[in-house]
């Protein structure tokens, strides 16, 4: 189980923050800053939710921090896909 969760978090953190950043802006410098912010925010929020989320919901069951970080990172990408300002300006090559 550890190897599976380890690979999931690596894939999620390599793909989701940069993809969400790409949807936020078309400038490379800002994409890098957005990607750093999304990655750090996902890591902190996922770790906090893994540690305290079950307690807030009245449960004492442990939640995988790596799995929660990957989930939060995926949610950030999903929100960027829905609401990012740069997504409507992108056009297909050759259009």
Asked if residue 56 is part of any domain, the answer here is: yes
Please indicate, yes or no, if residue 95 is contained in any of the structural domains: no
**Mean pLDDT computed over every residue of the chain:** 85
Task: Give the integer Cα–Cα distance in Å for 28 and 57.
Answer: 40
Taking residues 57-84, report their average pLDDT. Answer: 88
Host domain of residue 34: 2-84
The sign of the dihedral angle between the CA atoms of 8, 55, 52, 78 is positive
| Structural domain includes residue 7 | yes
Is 94 within the bounds of a domain?
A: no
SS3 label, residue 1: coil
How many domains would you assign to the chain? 1
Contact predicate 77/69, CB 8 Å: no
Q: Is residue 34 part of a domain?
A: yes
Q: Of how many residues is the chain composed?
A: 95
Task: Please report the pLDDT score of residue 73 as a whole number.
Answer: 95
pLDDT of residue 64: 83
Query: Is residue 46 in some structural domain?
Result: yes
pLDDT at 75: 95
> Under a CB-based contact definition with an 8 Å cutoff, are residues 63 and 54 in contact?
yes
pLDDT of residue 58: 82
Average pLDDT estimate for 32-59: 91
């Amino acid at each position: 189980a550890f190897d599976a969760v380890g690979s999931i978090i690596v894939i999620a953190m390599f793909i989701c923050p940069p993809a969400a950043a790409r949807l936020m802006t078309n400038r490379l410098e800002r994409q890098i800053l957005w990607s750093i912010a999304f990655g750090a925010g996902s890591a902190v929020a996922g770790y906090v939710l893994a540690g305290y989320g079950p307690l807030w919901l009245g449960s004492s069951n442990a939640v995988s921090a790596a799995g929660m970080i990957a989930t939060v990172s995926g949610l950030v990408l999903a929100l960027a896909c829905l609401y990012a300002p740069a997504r409507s300006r992108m056009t297909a090559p050759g259009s």
